[in-house]
Chains A and B, each alone.
Chain A
Amino acid sequence: MFVGPFFLGLVVFIYVPILWSLYLSFFDAYNTVTPTKFVGLGNYADMLGDPSFRDSLLTFVVFAAFIVPTTFVLSLLVAVLVARTRVMQAFFRSVFFLPTACSYVVAALIWKMSIFSGVRFGLVNTVLGWFGQDPIPFLSVTHPPWYWLVIVSARLWLQVGFYMILFLAGLQRISPTLYEAAAIDGASQWQSFRYITLPQLRATSTAVLLLLLVNAFQAFDEFYNILNTFGTYPPYARPPLVYLYYVALGSGQDFGHGTAGAVILALLIAIVALVQGRITGIGRGGD
């Protein structure tokens, strides 16, 4: 009576689609969600052999290499600064947290059309102009790949506040007596950060790192909205979900390959999540 409605919905809207997709992924299914011809593991072989699918995984790796460390360091730095502040602490915390209210679409819009607009009136190009520099076409060149700066800074701005809150909660759990003891022993601020704060934040840090990784794997919104111009997406910088979107829901409506791709990605992410569960204890029942 209590669990029933939820569980029924979960089965219908999560388990049924996953099982149906597993089935569909062994068939040809163009423009239709009913299987036409059995192809065995053909779709999987096609996907793994498709250079653009492998490129999408590589794009994720590059993206993660940028976004994970920068978000981690900046949100920890902001959390430490805010935690030490007495006056105006609530104000600073709110300012850093406020971008969480913003959607990826709105951020993409501000980044693409105002901050990193490739023409003169973009904010960055205006500032560059004050120093006598030529405007940079941030989104229309691939050498150098300026678009990474646009994409990474947008997500950084959007998610620092979220992780700052997690770090602040972690910092609050550290006993002040540890810092008092360190002060009596004459430890410098850096030493007490290095030998007290960081080790005490270990559980939080692990959770934050894995959340950052899992979220980067699902990146779609900012890539789609920043790089899609006049309805066409460039052939580069397609992370896994963007790639899958164009395979399954683009002009081809190729659900056989689309579902095979979804299964591969789900397996990859499940492995990461299992590692996460091992480390943080989420999903083990918690008691």
Chain B
Amino acid sequence: MAIVRNSRADHVSAALRYAALAVLALVFLVPFYLLVRNALMSEPEITAPDWAWLPPSWRFSNLVDVFRDPAVPMGRALLNSVIIAVVQTLGVLVLSGMAGYGLARIPYRWSGLVFWLITATLLIPAAITFVPSFVLVSTLGWISTLRGLIIPGLFQALSTFLFRQFFLGFPKEIEEAAFLDGLSWWGTFWRVVVPNSLGFASAIGTITFIGSWNAFLWPLVIGRDAQSWTVQVALSTFLTAQSINLSSLFAAALIGILPLLAMFLLLQRWIVEGVERTGIGGE
């Protein structure tokens, strides 16, 4: 009797759980739905007093017209964002990967001090120091240049720290075998350690790419002229401008998130691992 009652209660609680999840999931999808809906409608259709669940006429041409709008240089902005995100991701992987390996394995003078100075910067998030960084970048004359947008973001203490944690757990036997084969530290790292760390590098890489693509404050501060706008800055300028065309605005936003949506569908496993690693540190 007790068993029967239990299993009926289990069914009820499972049904409630699915109902709650389904409702929450629908709510979470609403913003994406609105983005796509508005991107494929004309402005009068969006502002019409009667709500339309689906675009009355599917205007895929909106997505092409965005690139013809002289008010917002979307083509150039997409190119800038791609260059910045790709270079920053590769740069962070190489610089932090090497530094993490050096910190984990290679003994040298001052290594304690160097490690301390690196981890100390973890205490202060980069966003807080945007004024000091702006001061430096403007002294170098890098305002509104790709250099100014990319280079200050290459030195991520958190990635270096995570790579160090990862390499501390890397099996030493593999490296010792490489030394016996006559490889140096340099050769061991590139020929043996790196090929065996691609999974971890993918996790850090995807997270870095997302952060770089979605970054706003730094590109806003540095991208003073329209030629150096990233997708996010172009969208923001469009959004806060005097007169805006709603359908172009939403079409531009949809184009702006498509690269990341594609990445999420293809590489979700690495992104999830990246979130777990960066969220709780090197646990």
Contacts and interface: CB of A to CB of B under 8 A. Distances in A.
Given A82-B21, A95-B29, A157-B28, A103 B214 contact: yes
Contact of A228 (B118, B134, B240, B271): B240
Contacts of A228: 240
B28 A99 contact: yes
Q: Which of B48, B115, B246, B253 lies at the interface centre, i.e. has the most chain A CB atoms within 10 A of its CB? A: B253
Interface string B134-153: 11101100000000000110
Nearest to A173: B283
B189 interface: yes
B95 A5 contact: yes
A155 interface: no
A123 interface: yes
Contacts of B152: 13
Contact of A259 (B119, B131, B240): B131
A260 B134 CA distance: 14
B257 A103 contact: yes
A103 B35 CA distance: 13
A230 B242 CA distance: 5
Contact of B157 (A10, A157, A162, A217): A10
A18 to B, nearest CB: 6
A262 B131 contact: yes
B124 A270 contact: yes
A282 B114 CA distance: 17
Interface stretch (A37-45, A50-58, A61-69, A111-119): A111-119
A208 B236 CA distance: 29
Contacts of A248: 131, 134
Nearest to A204: B280
A60 interface: no
A98 B281 contact: no
A113 B249 contact: yes
Interface in B250-283: 250, 253, 256-257, 260-261, 263-264, 268, 271-272, 275-276, 279-282
Contacts of A184: none
A181 interface: no
B86 to A, nearest CB: 17
Contacts of B51: 121, 126
B18 interface: yes
A229 B261 contact: no
Nearest to B258: A101
B28 A95 contact: yes
Contact of B235 (A14, A84, A109, A259): A109
B166 to A, nearest CB: 11
B24 A269 contact: no
A77 B192 CA distance: 43
Given A230-B240, A282-B281, A286-B282, A7 B135 contact: no
A214 B125 contact: yes
B34 interface: yes
Nearest to A130: B51
B249 A166 contact: no
B103 interface: yes
Interface of B: 13, 17-18, 20-21, 24-25, 28-32, 34-35, 38, 46-49, 51, 95-96, 98-99, 101-103, 106, 111, 114-115, 117-119, 121-125, 127-136, 138-139, 151-152, 154-155, 157, 160-161, 165, 168, 185-186, 189, 210, 213-214, 216-217, 220-221, 232, 235-236, 239-242, 246, 249-250, 253, 256-257, 260-261, 263-264, 268, 271-272, 275-276, 279-282
